[in-house]
Amino acid sequence: MLRTFHLIDAAALSTVALLVAACSDSNAPTAPTGQFRSEMITCQVAVRAGTLTCAASQPQPAPQAHGAPGMSFNLIVGGQGALVRLASTGTSYNSVSQVLSSSVTVENLIAQSMNTADGTTPDAGGIKVFFHSGPTATGGSGTVTVANSDGTGTFTGANQEYFLYSDGAVLPSGESTSSRQWQFSVPTTVTTFAFQVFVTTRLPVEASAIVALGLSRTPSALTILPGATGTTTVNLTRTNFTDPVTLSLGGASAGITGSFAPAAPTGTSSTLTLSVDGAVEPGVYFLTVDGTGTAGHRSTPLTLTVGQAGVGNVTVDFSSCPVTDRAVWLAAQNGAGAWTRIPGASDVYTFTIGNGGGGLAYVELGAADAASVTVQYMTPAEFTAGGTLVFCPPASGKTINGSVAGADATDISTISLGGRSATVLTFTSSNFQLTHVPSGAQDLVAYRHSFVGGAESAIIRRGQDVADNGSLETLDFGSEGFPPATATITVGGLAGTEDVSQGMFYQVNANCATASLYGGATVPTGDVTFTASGIPTLHQQVTDFHGLFVAASTTTASRFITQYFHTLGDRTVTLGATLPSPTITSLAGPYKRLQAAYTLPVDYQGSTGLQYSDGGNKSVSISATFGYLGGAAATLALPDFSGLTAWDNNWAPASASTGDWTVSGVSTFPGSACSENATFKTATVNGTF
């Protein structure tokens, strides 16, 4: 038989569209317990910017100083790198031919060879990466299609397109296929699109459980001063494999050494400490972390930057970020003074911001000449709140496994613990894994949602403190679950032409950790009321709060509101005002310098932003806090950096380019989501230039 790996591609979509499509296949197979992984990664492909912004699993606070959202489109990982890894390079969009292209490889993380029935003879079927759902436009309008598939077949449904790999060749464990160019026909009116892929191939031994090992590191890049040390966590993603993995450091130059603790882990992580001798020259060093065990040999890259330090009252730190999310150029503005380029030291930048506030600007580069320019304006108190502004805080916490029962093939279950969540699509697997769960006792919340109108169910377990790499007792929505409470919600301020959707979060424990119940439930056009579901009072503690989320959008504008309350009952939530269309002008300069002038409604006087991108792979993001602006009038524009050292005019959209712009407004975020009637509002308006 062919073994189908339920690995979901990261180049994907809004959660709701993906899940509805996934559950629409009546012939979806039922995966054998313990042999498949289906951790979902839900992301949006920004066509012109060439970026991938992952959908949040919980409401986000008002924007603070942080790295540009998203991750490089040059890395696509399915199933958390557990069984295979899809990686792409050279992603680009041609607005003339309206084709988006990317060269994609498949890496085999399984202990067995792929595309062979006996371990030696290639199978005629090859390795197929097939489209389970999509591609579907999730931003803008238009139809996206696969332009160059190798054929169609019946996998989880009929007439599914696929790309063929390893045709006539065996893919050994730990190796990657040659690249295959994927092309999509994408109208210029589409700003984002999404799709879901699975992988199917022949294995020599298919009767027993799959053994696999994936290797990664967090962070994937380090910056260390000469004479200092730094650490990164080596993550081992195991599937039915518990043997030791011997770790080693490869590619290290003289004066650079590494030690692992433990050196041969049997668990899911090890700490690598890198030491840099005082005589090592500043620069970039490309290393590898190698792992060898009975599941095979794996290798993952690690970039080390050796640099030098600076002074000032503001420090921003990119050192924990992936290389593609690090600043290659950074400048600061003190008050209304001139912009000054700030040299980095080990990807850490220090500068001075006075009482009048100031600005921070930085550039991140991607593949195929992609670039993003970010400018942020804040008060000195906002710049220095909490000390160093760490752009990519290293992830930490426990890995916890589990499974669900009492869920039908048409159900989706969400399991949340300590603010971390996992999704279970019953038609693929009943198993789940939670990662980076905080230590200590946490409240678990699980919710089963039906796509066909079936009964829904919830589970709450208080004070769960499972050991790292341990397992929860099976969550049985039948015997342990209880029916949710319901209430009628009235939405105030709706316009008749808006599309409306709603979802519910749940905040628990003294740390007000977020649990996801359901999301993206659509409201019939024209309706101003809907039924929301949540946790009955009988199962609540006084520290528990619901978080109701409502979104209303047209093709040119969107409004969002999240409101928190303890008891679920009938209520009215009123959307904020429509954000006014700004006056958009193009300022003089050697690159496209858009300026947006507008007045912020009182609903959105927390922060505001202007984002725009060209028809290729250049994007700009400008934001300012209300404290910095000092009033409702906002004028945001990209400064002229052309006179600063090391600035490259090609980083910004070209002067003659055209593309899309978006202006956003954000309310102040409540001090705590766990307070009665705390409300958070946002709005956007968009257009073209």
Quick count: other Cβ atoms within 10 Å of Cβ 468? 13
Q: How far apart are CA 613 and CA 151, in angstroms?
A: 34
User: pLDDT tens for residues 545-560?
Assistant: 999 999 999 999 999 9
User: pLDDT tens for residues 163-216?
Assistant: 999 988 999 988 999 999 999 999 988 877 888 777 888 888 766 677 778 887
Task: Give the model's pLDDT for residue 540.
Answer: 96
Sequence-distant (≥ 6) Cβ neighbours of residue 188 within 8 angstroms: 95, 98, 615
Q: What band does 40 get if pLDDT is binned at 50, 70 and 90?
A: very low
Q: Which residue has the higher pLDDT, 275 or 210?
A: 275
Q: What value, to the nearest 5°, has the Cα angle with vertex 322 and ends 290 and 385?
A: 135
Query: Across 77-86, 100-109, 497-506, which has the greatest mean pLDDT?
Result: 497-506
Q: Which residue has the higher pLDDT, 199 or 139?
A: 199
Q: How far apart are CA 427 and CA 433, in angstroms?
A: 17
Task: Give the model's pLDDT for residue 526.
Answer: 82
Mean pLDDT score across all residues of the chain: 83
Q: Which residue has the higher pLDDT, 59 or 160?
A: 160
Q: How far apart are CA 124 and CA 126, in angstroms?
A: 6
Q: Pairing mode, if any, of strands 583-587 and 180-185?
A: unpaired
Bond preceding residue 187 cis, omega within 30 of 0: no
Query: Is residue 4 predicted with pLDDT exceeding 60?
Result: no
Of the listed ranges 61-75, 127-141, 233-247, 562-576, the least confidently predicted one is: 61-75
The answer to whether the CB of 562 falls within 8 A of the CB of 547 is yes
Query: Is residue 576 predicted with pLDDT exceeding 90?
Result: yes
Give me the DSSP letters along 78-106: SGGGSSEEEEEEEEEEETTTTEEEEEEEE
Average confidence (pLDDT) over 601-621: 94
Q: Which residue has the higher pLDDT, 433 or 167?
A: 433
Sequence-distant (≥ 6) Cβ neighbours of residue 337 within 8 angstroms: none
Of the listed ranges 27-31, 42-46, 260-264, 607-611, the least confidently predicted one is: 27-31
Q: Which residue has the higher pLDDT, 483 or 320?
A: 483
Query: Is residue 26 predicted with pLDDT exceeding 50?
Result: no
CA 364 vs CA 53, 72, 287: distances in Å = 15, 10, 21
Q: How far apart are CA 652 and CA 89, in angstroms?
A: 21
User: pLDDT tens for residues 496-515?
Assistant: 789 999 999 999 998 899 99
* pLDDT above 70 coverage of the chain, percent: 86
Q: pTM (2 decimals)?
A: 0.58
How many angstroms from the chain centroid is the CA of residue 384? Answer: 26
Structural element, H or E, at residue 593: strand 593-599
CA 627 vs CA 124, 140, 374, 683: distances in Å = 64, 33, 19, 19
Task: Give the model's pLDDT for residue 56.
Answer: 27
The answer to whether the CB of 293 falls within 8 A of the CB of 245 is yes
The answer to whether the CB of 248 falls within 8 A of the CB of 234 is no
Task: Give the model's pLDDT for residue 167.
Answer: 86
Sequence-distant (≥ 6) Cβ neighbours of residue 385 within 8 angstroms: none
Sequence-distant (≥ 6) Cβ neighbours of residue 598 within 8 angstroms: 579, 580, 581, 582, 583, 634, 663
Query: Is residue 20 predicted with pLDDT exceeding 80?
Result: no
Q: Which residue has the tokens 């518990």?
A: 242
Query: Is residue 63 predicted with pLDDT exceeding 80?
Result: no
Task: Give the model's pLDDT for residue 340.
Answer: 85
* pLDDT above 90 coverage of the chain, percent: 52
The answer to whether the CB of 401 falls within 8 A of the CB of 433 is yes
The answer to whether the CB of 5 falls within 8 A of the CB of 214 is no
Q: Which residue has the higher pLDDT, 42 or 328?
A: 328
> Could you tell me where the DSSP H helices lie in 229-352?
none
Query: Is residue 456 predicted with pLDDT exceeding 80?
Result: yes
Task: Give the model's pLDDT for residue 60.
Answer: 29
Cβ neighbourhood burial of 492 (10 Å; 0-12, 13-18, 19+)? exposed
